[in-house]
Amino acid sequence: MTLLEVRGVGKRFADQVVLEDVSFDVDDGEIVAIIGASGSGKSTLLSLLTGALHPDSGEIRFAGAPLPQRRRPFAYMPQRDALLPWRRVVENAAIGLEVQGVSRREARRRARELLEPFGLAGTEFRYPRQLSGGMRQRVSFLRAVVQEQPILLLDEPFGALDAITRDDLQRWLLEMWRDSGWTIVCITHDIREAVRLADRVLVLPRTPGALAGEVAVSREIPRATGMLTDPRVPPLEAELHALLRSAG
Ligand SMILES: Nc1ncnc2c1ncn2[C@@H]1O[C@H](COP(=O)(O)OP(=O)(O)OP(=O)(O)O)[C@@H](O)[C@H]1O
């Protein structure tokens, strides 16, 4: 079932056109990655989804109806972990629910329940400075997931991490996703990350216009494990490199 439909969306800032005629769908339970050169409008596109910005043209629909102006069906994980340094782990994880109007006590109870599956058992009373970078990203991800919104929007989720931690977290995310059925839209600079995480990778063009292309990644490829040695992966990465170049 199609959850999200982006139809001919355009956005300009003053006289600079950033997005033009962008269209794509996201199905229930899919991971869709969006890649594009720096400045191609990836963050702008996410802001159009969250409602921080409004499109100048086109339409965004959710579950067959226009996207509501308020109470959007997304939980957003920002590029940097954006944890508040004066709040402990569980308090940070509960913020998104509190903003939605859930009582502080209930929000923290729900966040606390997820600490263990998120590999954060025993960290409830720690401050962000007492966590590793990977743990901070897990708290940030938990803060999005606990909101139980239909779609998770991830903005460069692992970009700031070292390669080993990134690999661990990608594997962990895929294992969690397999058991949860989350629908995820993820923007990233990293072709390898896009191919590893996503069912489909969408390429934004360098100069505004319709998507430069799309590459499907078979679910038969063992993404959580074995991805690096699977012979089906290099051709997909090469195709994405070519699309990114052609988009120039
Ligand atoms: N609020 C704004 N006001 C004016 N121009 C903006 C604004 N936000 C983004 N832009 C411009 O829009 C273009 C696209 O920016 P955006 O951040 O969406 O790209 P991006 O693909 O996410 O880039 P990066 O990968 O470098 O983060 C850039 O030229 C940027 O300067």
Tokens of 208: 């505004």
Q: Give me ligand 1 centre to Cα 40, in Å.
A: 7
List of residues 6+ apart from 166 with CB closer than 8 A: 158, 193
Q: Please, which residues have CB within 8 angstroms of residue 66's CB and are 6 or more apart in sequence?
A: 59, 60
Contact 173, 197 (CB under 8 A): yes
**Cβ(43) to ligand 1 under 6 A?**
yes
Q: Which of 189, 194, 193 lies closest to 215, judged by CA? A: 194
| Pair of tokens at residue 186 | 């993820």
- Gap from CA of 39 to ligand 1 centroid (Å): 5
Question: 13 CB less than 6 Å from ligand 1?
Answer: yes
Q: Is 38 in the pocket of ligand 1 (CB under 6 A)?
A: yes
Ligand 1 centroid – CA 128 distance (Å): 29
ipTM of the complex as predicted: 0.96
Please, which pLDDT band fits residue 107 given cuts at 50, 70 and 90? very high
Give 158-202 as a DSSP string: TTTS-HHHHHHHHHHHHHHHHHH--EEEEE-S-HHHHHHH-SEEE
Rounded average pLDDT over 230-241 = 92
Per DSSP, the three-state class of 58 is strand
pLDDT score at 169: 84
Q: What is the pLDDT of residue 178?
A: 86
How much is the pTM?
Answer: 0.91
Run of H or E residues at 6? strand 2-13
Q: What is the pLDDT of residues 54-86, one digit of tens each?
A: 999 999 999 999 988 878 899 998 887 789 999
Q: Tell me: the pLDDT tens digits for 181-224?
A: 899 999 998 898 899 999 999 999 989 999 999 999 988 888 87
* Residue 90 confidence (pLDDT): 96
Nearest CA to ligand 1 atom 8: 44
Token pair 């954060």: residue: 120
Q: How confident is the model at residue 157 (pLDDT cuts 50, 70, 90)?
A: confident
Query: How many whole angstroms separate alpha carbon 146 and alpha carbon 130?
Result: 22
Using a 6 Å cutoff on CB, does residue 79 contact ligand 1? no
Q: Which atom of ligand 1 is nearest to the CA of 41?
A: 18
Whole-number Å distance, alpha carbon 162 to ligand 1 midpoint, is 25
